[in-house]
């Protein structure tokens, strides 16, 4: 199944990512089955689906961390054959080094690139201000809240200025209020940077609030069941009737509209 839908809101650039008949198996288990997908430059794409359907595996293939069993993945016209700092992956767990301060964690990629001390200082200072951590450069991860640690992890990825951000449930472990705040921060960064973003999430509302398109995957073996364009202009109202209707559509495709007795209750804060 090949999907070719350009975004109505910011994804109208040239093709950035092309996935062709991707198959990913581990031993006898096929996790991803013949997925084909094209993503436009500057597009925000969200992926939802049941647990274990291959969403996170797809991100790891795109990041070059997992070699495909079959098929082809290209970014900027080049085959993905391994990790590349231009295509950065952010995990649900922040993965900060506990012995390094916030400043030092964010600076890590720049140090590896052997940038000058002044270049590093300037870049890290800018990023800490961008993610709202400019008052905490000397703090260690254990001194930060979960949301602050995730902000630091995002800043560390942004430090090397990747073209593609691959986000694997980055806010899944956070409380509801912090999650909403970081969604707003991520959207602001996306709109100001023009980067291509692919977000894996179990939160349908999050996907619809952030993305230009939402891909719905099937159970294992993971295939693309449906692609939902989100045409509502930004900034979006999380409580709008349009997003509520799209949420009912997505949950209906997944068979996850909550049921009380024999009555379906579509209007609810229900996530997959």
Note the pLDDT tens digit of each residue in 84-138: 988 999 877 768 999 999 999 999 999 999 999 999 999 999 999 988 899 999 9
pLDDT (tens digit per residue) in 192-207: 888 999 999 999 999 9
| Section 150-177 average pLDDT | 89
Take residue 97 and report the two structure tokens written for it: 């080094």
Angle between helices 146-159 and 117-130 (to 10 degrees): 140
Q: Which domains does the chain have, with CATH numbers?
A: 1-82+201-272 (3.40.50.300)
Residue 3 has pLDDT above 80, yes or no: no
Residue 189: in which H helix or E strand, if any? helix 176-193
Q: Give the Cα separation of 255 and 270 in Å (integer).
A: 12
Neighbouring CB atoms inside 10 A of 167's CB total 24
pLDDT (tens digit per residue) in 20-66: 999 999 988 999 999 999 999 999 999 999 988 999 999 999 999 99
What is the reported pTM? 0.85
Q: Is 21 exposed, middle or buried (0-12, 13-18, 19+ CB in 10 A)?
A: middle
Q: Give the Cα separation of 96 and 217 in Å (integer).
A: 30
CA proximity to 83, closest of 66, 63, 69, 67: 63
CA proximity to 140, closest of 132, 149, 151: 149
Residue 267 has pLDDT above 60, yes or no: no
How high is the pLDDT of residue 175?
85
**Under a CB-based contact definition with an 8 Å cutoff, are residues 22 and 1 in contact?**
no
CA proximity to 38, closest of 182, 198, 183: 198
């Amino acid at each position: 199944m090949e999907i070719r839908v350009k975004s109505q809101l910011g994804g109208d650039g040239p093709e950035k990512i092309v996935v062709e008949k991707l198959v990913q198996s581990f031993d006898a288990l096929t996790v991803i089955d013949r997925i084909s997908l094209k993503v436009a430059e500057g597009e925000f794409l969200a992926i939802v689906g049941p647990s274990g359907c291959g969403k996170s595996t797809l991100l790891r293939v795109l990041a070059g961390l997992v070699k495909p069993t079959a098929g082809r993945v290209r970014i900027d016209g080049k085959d993905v054959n391994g990790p590349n700092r231009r295509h950065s992956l952010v995990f649900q767990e922040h993965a900060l080094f506990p012995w390094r301060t916030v400043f030092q964690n964010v600076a890590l990629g720049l140090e590896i690139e052997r940038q000058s001390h002044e270049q590093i200082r300037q870049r890290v200072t800018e990023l800490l201000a961008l993610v709202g951590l400019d008052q905490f450069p000397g703090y260690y991860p254990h001194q930060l809240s979960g949301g602050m640690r995730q902000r630091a992890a995002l800043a560390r990825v942004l430090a090397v200025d990747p073209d593609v951000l691959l986000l694997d449930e980055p806010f899944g472990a956070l409380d509801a209020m912090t999650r909403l705040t970081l969604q707003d921060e991520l959207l602001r960064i996306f709109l100001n940077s023009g980067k291509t973003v692919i977000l894996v999430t179990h939160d349908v509302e999050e996907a619809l609030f952030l993305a230009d398109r939402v891909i719905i995957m099937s159970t294992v073996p993971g295939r693309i069941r449906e692609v939902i364009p989100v045409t509502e202009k930004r900034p979006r109202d999380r409580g709008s009737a349009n997003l509520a209707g799209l949420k009912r559509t997505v949950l209906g495709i997944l068979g996850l509209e909550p049921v009380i007795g024999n009555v379906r209750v579509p209007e609810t804060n229900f996530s997959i």
